[in-house]
Structure 1
Amino acid sequence: MLHSNPLLPLGRVLLILFAITSSGNSEEQARPTNVAQRSDFHNSRISFERDQAGHVAFIGGSITEMNGYRPMVMDYLTQRFPETEFTFTDAGISSTCSTAGAFRLRNDVLVHGKVDLLFIEFAVNDDQDAAHSLEQARRGMEGLIRHTLQHSPTAEIVVTYFVNPEMLEKLQRGETPVSIQAHESVAQHYGATTIHLAQEVADRIDEKKLTWKDYGGVHPAPFGNAIPTSMIAKTLESAWANELPANAKQTPKKLPELLDPQSYTSGDYVPREDLKLGPGWNIQAPDWKTIEGSVRSRHQNRDLITCTVPGSGLSFSFTGSAVGVECVAGPDAGTLEYKIDSGDWQELNLSHRYSKGLHYPRTVLFDDQLKNVKHTISVRLSSKESDYGLKPAVRILNFVAN
């Protein structure tokens, strides 16, 4: 969703500005140890201040989608640069992880033009929803950052680590959650700035200057969202403290070697016209009133690639190193049988632990260890019942490939 120069609710702007300028001393608001500033934010400032135009994008899960830090940062930027024509892209989608983000980045962010400033938030969902390994979280984050820089070499990137109770407990024990370890390694490698909100919250709670209740939980309250907004604003204000030189020019980012050759750095959707659908497969909007389980509004009227007939198959060809599905997996989510090239038939269960009462959006991969050449994949619906004892079905938003 794109937003261009939104009208600003005065009360929210005042809340943000009060939090940034008045809530405690500056060290409490943004301790240097909890912000790793790896950019001078010179490129974005040239766009915002000199060109008076800018594209700022936010990608993440429900923490990004909600009325939280994202609109607060938008308000800060429009206050900071009142003459600038901003385009804000909201690419927050509840329940999605960095894997999903890497494969939907082009469609949800990059198609809207050159990116000046990108905010990423996936630490919580990589931890609790996807339960990613270090390798999986790294591949998703490297895909997001490198793909953005390939598309927009002058883009500047900020990764914010939000927090859930389990991650908080680890930090309080002196441990670093896996998702943050993975994301930080990528951010360091590419020079992306990181806002370690999770550690900031842990520190303030340990110092008895904050409670988890006051912060607001996994989906922070306005007070809680003002903390990362303040940390981001103070970081940018520090970078932009001096006058912009008259001869300042934007500097493209020189890409380093890949951290992981299998990272999803060219993630995209497989065009539907490339799919060869067999009998039993259709592209249509499901009749959700007749299907058990709730569905979120963003998926209710979407035409999905569907099948409810076991044994029915489809196939398509792609060139890349990874292939999978972006689906909504409900109580009847079935198992897909698949074969890549001349390999053996294998199985992929689309169900999730959150699927019992919700058609849960998730991106899962058949394989991400392929050679980066042309492949053909055949897929069919298994006759196995779903994890919740229902006749199997599959509802796919998109097939994805790297």
Structure 2
Amino acid sequence: MAISLFQRRAGLQRFKRRAEAGLPLAVAFLGGSITEGAGASDGDKASWRALTGEYLAARFGAGRVCLINAGVGGTDSSFGAARLQEHVWSTGPIDLLFVEFAVNDGEDRAESLRGMEGIVRQARRHAPTADICFVYTAADKNLTPGIPFNIAVHEEVAAHYAIPSVNFAAGVRAAIDAAEADWGALAGDLVHPNDEGHALYAGFMRSYLKEALDASLPSSDPPEEGQQSSLPAPLEESNCEFAGMAAPDEADDTRGFSRDTLEGLPLMNWRYDTSHLRALSEDAALSFTVDGWRAGIVLLCGPDTGSFEYSVDGGAFKEVDLFDEWCELAYRPIPFWLPGRERPGRIAVTVRPTGRADPRSKGAGLRILKLLSC
């Protein structure tokens, strides 16, 4: 079955009307490493994000278009929802939000729905006059016949909220089937496109934007102000609409922890402030409370990371070890969500180091970058 490159749905009518009125335009790109620019020779010049921004600036004037890079490597849509306030809404009003997580979301349908739906519902509250566009990038799992799992789940959300989508993976698959492209030549690791692959992605997006923003086609009237924030019933009740992240200093108790940074240490998948709390001994314990469906933490995991244990609402402690082969290379943020509730409420969490570590680790450290809530 051939898969369409575009699903037009409600289109980009609000963005189009603002552009036609000559108003300033703010465009945010939320996603993983591919949106951030991984694989390109220069992520801020040769990535699909940068080339799309270049097209919009050329079309509407560079002085009118503000571009926000909210791509973070290795992150899924649930963490994307938690990052929105700090990485997108804090920059000011936006008019168009691109969302790309089809590669990084896993095989848990409910979790993918939570993240993608949470992003949409959060955007409808914080930026009710902005348009949203889903983007599906390629990887082996997204180049299978039919509609690949992750794209199908994201399309459930897109259809429910009438959000347009641009399926880069479908475009790549069509080019492969027509013997016009070799995926290995476009992405050496079969995930992150090189300059040629990013240019192909950007070409797909330009084709969509040229149609969606065609001035010769009439624009539909935007919803009345009172209707802009109206939302249908959620697909997944425990979605990340109210997800957020906070500095670990906001915890109720941080005994045995000290503020630190990663200055001078290897870092990947994070362009933002690395201020965090580091456990000084095995006696350290950090306790915090949040309101919602579930709580979580973002760890800075790296060469000296050990295991930790957590307790929810005074329950038994459970040990977790997140050390993997990437930890041997550099520090990176890893979000860890604790088990959720059947209904939202106040959640009390305690996290502490165990003093134990994977044999490959050079220590048994615990570094907490953010506190999460959903």
TM-score, structure 2 as length reference = 0.87
Q: Is 1:264 aligned with 2:237?
A: no
- Please tell me whether the aligned partners of residues 322 and 370 of structure 1 are also in contact (alpha carbons under 8 angstroms): no
Matching residue of 1:341 = 313
After the TM superposition, which residues 313-328 of structure 1 pair with which residues of structure 2 at under 5 Å, given as runs? 313-328=285-300
Gaps of 5+ in 2: 38-42
| 1: CA distance, partners of 2:71 / 2:296 | 21
Q: Deviations over 1:163-199 (max 9, x none)?
A: 123433xx1xx25433222212111111111111112
SS of corresponding position for 2:197: helix
After the TM superposition, which residues 1-400 of structure 1 pair with which residues of structure 2 at under 5 Å, given as runs? 33-66=4-37, 67=43, 68-82=47-61, 85-126=64-105, 131-168=106-143, 171=144, 174-217=145-188, 218-243=191-216, 248-249=221-222, 252=228, 254-286=230-262, 294-296=266-268, 298=270, 302-369=274-341, 371-386=343-358, 388-400=360-372
- Please tell me whether the aligned partners of residues 133 and 178 of structure 1 are also in contact (alpha carbons under 8 angstroms): no
Note the C-alpha offset of 1:48: 1.8
Q: 1:372 to 1:82 in 2, by over 3 A?
A: same
- Please tell me whether the aligned partners of residues 305 and 361 of structure 2 are also in contact (alpha carbons under 8 angstroms): no
| 2: CA distance, partners of 1:360 / 1:92 | 14
| 1: CA distance, partners of 2:58 / 2:72 | 26
Matched AA of 1:105 = L
- Please tell me whether the aligned partners of residues 123 and 179 of structure 1 are also in contact (alpha carbons under 8 angstroms): yes
Note the C-alpha offset of 1:318: 1.4
Q: Which moved more, 1:76-85 or 1:192-201?
A: 76-85
SS of corresponding position for 2:25: strand
Q: Using the aligned pairs only, state the percent identity.
A: 27
Note the C-alpha offset of 1:287: 6.3
Q: 1:366 to 1:223 in 2, by over 3 A?
A: same
| 2: CA distance, partners of 1:201 / 1:100 | 27
Note the C-alpha offset of 1:99: 2.0
What is the number of residues matched between the two proteins? Answer: 360
- Please tell me whether the aligned partners of residues 331 and 387 of structure 1 are also in contact (alpha carbons under 8 angstroms): no
- Please tell me whether the aligned partners of residues 72 and 229 of structure 1 are also in contact (alpha carbons under 8 angstroms): yes
Q: 1:247 to 1:195 in 2, by over 3 A?
A: closer
Matched AA of 1:258 = P
| 1: CA distance, partners of 2:328 / 2:157 | 34
- Please tell me whether the aligned partners of residues 42 and 250 of structure 1 are also in contact (alpha carbons under 8 angstroms): no
Q: 1:308 to 1:123 in 2, by over 3 A?
A: farther
Q: 1:278 to 1:113 in 2, by over 3 A?
A: closer
| 1: CA distance, partners of 2:313 / 2:289 | 9
Normalized per residue, the structure richer in helix is: 1
| 2: CA distance, partners of 1:379 / 1:247 | 52
Q: CA RMSD in A?
A: 2.6
Matching residue of 2:40 = none
Q: 1:375 to 1:258 in 2, by over 3 A?
A: same
Q: Which moved more, 1:270-279 or 1:198-207?
A: 270-279
Note the C-alpha offset of 1:296: 3.2
Note the C-alpha offset of 1:229: 2.0
Q: 1:367 to 1:238 in 2, by over 3 A?
A: same
| 1: CA distance, partners of 2:13 / 2:275 | 43
| 1: CA distance, partners of 2:237 / 2:197 | 37
- Please tell me whether the aligned partners of residues 294 and 347 of structure 2 are also in contact (alpha carbons under 8 angstroms): no
- Please tell me whether the aligned partners of residues 142 and 151 of structure 2 are also in contact (alpha carbons under 8 angstroms): no
Matching residue of 1:5 = none
